[in-house]
Structure 1
């Protein structure tokens, strides 16, 4: 196995040579073999060990075992302890997810603070098979079937091509000691049930099942890469990025024979789960929307608009005093006195400074708000009607601000000025207010 492993590292990860590597070592069979293999290859390594405190004294026994091994072999080691159960309870996570989040957060912290290059874990071919079956049982797309990636950012899994059987054989041949995790014998967890009950049956049906599975998974990976390439090409035709928003042209989208897989590919990373509702949104009513934890998808006429969910400011109103020359939150505005009007733009207004009263108030619009649009000779108009005429989306309406003086609207910011504050022949002081990008 050592020879095969060395060839695999040279072929797949030549960039690791002369790099500083962290090895995640639990003390179990797989990670101890990984550690032994890298000792033979003489890479620059250090060991990371997490004590999740889930098995009482056994967890601390693992920690002592790893620390003693590293001391005997002159290997640097970093250890930490987590109250995993408390963390899982506080954040309403399963124990497995909690342990994963704690582990990888700590890993990345050490990468940065100690200037190491990569973290190596001991996931192997049987782990990959178990993950495949778990994802398959829960319902998944191609991403869930291609398995555990060999390389993911700074995480590298060099044992993925090797089976648990090969790893055990190598350990026995090299007299490698390891610690048995008692929880691995329990069928309490889904992965263990698959490992103990299902996988042996599959291998009994076909002794070469694992190799056949690896071949199938390589085909799935190729198909996934082809789908990603097609997704990028179609995205360029259908989507337009506008700041933090992405606008999907529904007329273009519906020309595709089957647009659903493309929507899944584009939106999956944003945490959406209600896929049937998203597909129905394409032909749904304008104004309907679907939410994930941090994003929303809005149907706006012939467009789907993806946007982050805006944080609502703690204050709903913001004061602008006469001495203020600029405002940086919630909008960026500049204010200055000028001698004459220079430009005409929705981003800039010129008002009679003697007509306004300080402090000016910057606030969100409310139902029932009305103003006298510039150029309409004093006729009143509801803000909601202005938004409709301007064909603003729901998101644009929510992000609209009003600049007010003594309860009168001076400016629907970036859209329309109020007639009552316009410059006249008798105006002595001109105030320029500009919305900065």
Structure 2
């Protein structure tokens, strides 16, 4: 940490100003980062000017960003506090990525951790929500977590450190302020050592949470099997876990799922049922749950011209003119050139597609073919079709179409191979 380039989030309040002073005193290489959310009129600009002056007095750099917070909250239909948090961390992450900073330091302290505990408790949460704010989360480091608000205030007064007061901190319309001003103060009155006792309790919770996470990691290593870009989870051993609700929460919460009754319902649902989070999809497919990232599917077409060579996108296909046909396979087909209209086109499959499977009489819906072949939803979505005038010539890597096969009247033969 001594040689690292550090970004210090600084609002101008006592906590972050003390963190800035302590960092300079420790000889750390820091730059202040201040967000002007323009929510408090001239006071917001006063905070910005104060942080600029603080950086100058300490002989360190400063980064400042102005935000249209009200507009962002309105467009994203969120609270002003949530909007400010999202904007703040988006910018911090941008600075870390683009300006070579190694870590972000924030001034969260023990009282913040207590308030977060009570907020999560009031909303309903698992043990991870009660374990408090971590000292480090990736590149975010919180050096003051061991200290109380009183400790920080006492240090600031002893060393005659100036800071800015934020009048919104006394506004009880915000849940955190209400908990701090009305609940935490009463708890401390009831028991003077309440904060210290809470810190010890939280250490026990963190230790217990570590045991839980280690167990879940072991369960995942057994049940979660990577299969290309999806994860397959065998249903039978998953259903044997008890209590199942706790396991489902622990195993899938990191993927953004929140509708736990729906997730549990997948265990006994029909194949094809799914639950969607903001980032992932969980699908029931016969004896498995299949987990995948959400990706926007774009239906594109790629022309395949009548010339020998290797096509590299979107799949690797090798085209050859040959004298005789051999036995076809899922990866290699032989076509009668006269029956084709070039350019052929590669495209994704769509509902309503049908073809005439090689070796069979009559047509078949592609959806029925997939079902008979036990092709899961994710594989279907990635399936490419080779088409001539929008008629399917080849379900690539699976089955050719009977209509374009080589027969006794064929004079020119094209061999197409799917290259691994």
SS of equivalent residue, structure 1 residue 305: strand
Which one of 345, 368, 372 corresponds to residue 361 of structure 1? 345
Match of 2:378 in 1: 395
TM-score (norm 2): 0.93
Q: Are the equivalent residues in 1 in contact too, given 2:73–2:83 (CA < 8 A)? A: yes
- Residues 393-432 of structure 1: matches in 2 within 5 Å? 393-424=376-407, 426-432=409-415
Which one of 83, 90, 93 corresponds to residue 98 of structure 1? 83
Deviation string 1:377-430 (CA, Å, 9 cap, x unpaired) is: x44333233222111223333433332223432112221111222234553333
Q: Are the equivalent residues in 2 in contact too, given 1:24–1:120 (CA < 8 A)? A: yes
Are residues 126 and 363 of structure 1, via their aligned partners in 2, closer, same or farther at CA, if it must alter by over 3 Å?
same
Match of 1:46 in 2: 31
Are residues 284 and 113 of structure 1, via their aligned partners in 2, closer, same or farther at CA, if it must alter by over 3 Å?
closer
Cα RMSD after superposing both structures: 2.2
Are residues 368 and 139 of structure 1, via their aligned partners in 2, closer, same or farther at CA, if it must alter by over 3 Å?
same
SS of equivalent residue, structure 1 residue 313: coil
Match status 1:347 vs 2:326: no
Residue 43 (structure 1) shift: 1.7
Q: Are the equivalent residues in 2 in contact too, given 1:237–1:252 (CA < 8 A)? A: no
SS of equivalent residue, structure 2 residue 108: coil
Runs of 4+ with deviation above 6 angstroms: none
TM-score (norm 1): 0.89
Match status 1:266 vs 2:243: no
**Greater CA deviation, 420-429 or 185-194?**
420-429
Match of 1:296 in 2: 281
- Unaligned regions of 5+ residues in structure 1, if any? 1-15
Match status 1:150 vs 2:135: yes
Match of 1:337 in 2: 321
Match of 2:354 in 1: 370
- Residues 20-99 of structure 1: matches in 2 within 5 Å? 20-99=5-84
SS of equivalent residue, structure 2 residue 96: helix
Residue 165 (structure 1) shift: 0.8
Q: Are the equivalent residues in 2 in contact too, given 1:373–1:417 (CA < 8 A)? A: yes
Q: Are the equivalent residues in 1 in contact too, given 2:326–2:334 (CA < 8 A)? A: no
Residue 277 (structure 1) shift: 1.0
Which one of 263, 267, 271 corresponds to residue 282 of structure 1? 267
SS of equivalent residue, structure 1 residue 160: coil
Residue 99 (structure 1) shift: 1.5
Residue 310 (structure 1) shift: 3.8
Residue 367 (structure 1) shift: 4.9
Match of 2:366 in 1: 383
Which one of 172, 192, 202 corresponds to residue 187 of structure 1? 172
For 1:343 and 1:188, how far apart are their aligned partners in 2?
75
For 2:210 and 2:30, how far apart are their aligned partners in 1?
33
For 1:24 and 1:263, how far apart are their aligned partners in 2?
36
Residue 158 (structure 1) shift: 0.2
SS of equivalent residue, structure 2 residue 232: strand
